[in-house]
Structure formats: C-alpha cells, structure tokens
Amino acid sequence: MGSAKNIEPSYYNSRFRHGVDEKRRVQIPAKWRPQKAAELTLILWPREGVGECVRVLPPSQMAKLMQSIDVMPNNDPKKVVLKRIIGSDSAQASVDKAGRICLPDEMARGAGIKNDAVLVGLLDRFEIWNPERYEKVQAADAALAPDAFKLME
C-alpha cells in the first residue's frame, strides 16, 4: 500500500555544500527534491552589500510571488520593474534523475557560483550561494539575529 506523497517538501531546512560540475549542475539534497515532476523557478536574487545568489522557489511559492506582484497597484511603476527584473533574471529548472539542477550560465556567473555552492534552506524555499558570499551573509545575519528573533515574541 503506497502513501500519498507531496509534490514538494513541507519545508527546506539545513545547509549543504556541494560541488558544481562542468555543466553547472548542482546536487539538490534528497529531502528537498520534489517527489513528482515539478519545475523549480530559479531567480537571480540581489542581497545588498554581498552580491547575488540563486533563489529557488517550488511551484507553490512561485504562485505566491506572482499573486503578491499581481495585487500591487497597476499605476505603480515599480510593479513593472519587478516583473521585468524577475521575469528576465529567472529560469525554470527540473531536477534530473541524479537529483541535480542545472544553473544557467549567466545566472551562475551573476551569483559567482563556479566549483562549489552552498545550499541554504529558507523554510519555504532555498538559496544557492557562492561559498565566500555566503560567509558574508552569515556574518550580516548574525548581527541582525537578536532583533529578528524579537519578531517572534
């Protein structure tokens, strides 16, 4: 008797470091892989003062992102800017049979990802970082952590 499987994991947690092969393929942790064929959305995502990373959204989170942009006022010029930037700096990716996704060349270059990558869980999505950039992010996050945890009080 088989059990029902989710299309995507309920959350992405932990941190993993993986090599990136010559075709820019990076291994996705087994517990993060969709159980059924699903397109993941890769977005070149800016982080002020650190540089860009690749943010990976499962289908449900991409739908939520589209909804949040859709409800913005049409007369706000930032709405079109967001749509243009996210639309032009994103790509769809499938997890191959070996559990890898291929990073588009321009996206990998923009994020500074070459031979190694750090995959970081954000609970409902994950990011792929250049290891040196991620060290800077960790330092910045540590400085903000006390105030961030106060949001949950």
Q: What is the pLDDT of residue 107?
A: 97
Take residue 50 and report the two structure tokens written for it: 């650190």
Take residue 74 and report the two structure tokens written for it: 């049409």
Q: What is the pLDDT of residue 37?
A: 77
Domain regions of the chain by residue span? 15-150
Q: What is the pLDDT along the chain (153 residues), one digit of tens a residue?
A: 444 455 555 799 999 999 999 999 999 999 999 877 789 999 999 988 889 999 999 999 999 999 999 999 999 999 999 999 999 999 999 999 999 999 999 999 999 999 999 999 999 999 999 999 999 999 999 998 999 998 887
Q: What is the pLDDT of residue 8?
A: 56
DSSP state of 99: S
Amino acid residing at 21: D
**Kind of pairing, strands 40-47 and 90-93?**
antiparallel
CA distance 142 to 120: 15
Q: What is the pLDDT of residue 7?
A: 53
Phi and psi at residue 71, to the nearest 5°: -80, -5
- CA nearest neighbour of 40 among 27, 25, 58: 58
CATH number given to 15-150: 3.40.1550.20
- CA nearest neighbour of 60 among 29, 36, 28, 27: 36
- Identify the helix (H) or strand (E) that includes residue 81: helix 77-88
What is the Cα 82 distance to its own chain's centre? Answer: 17
pTM of the model: 0.89
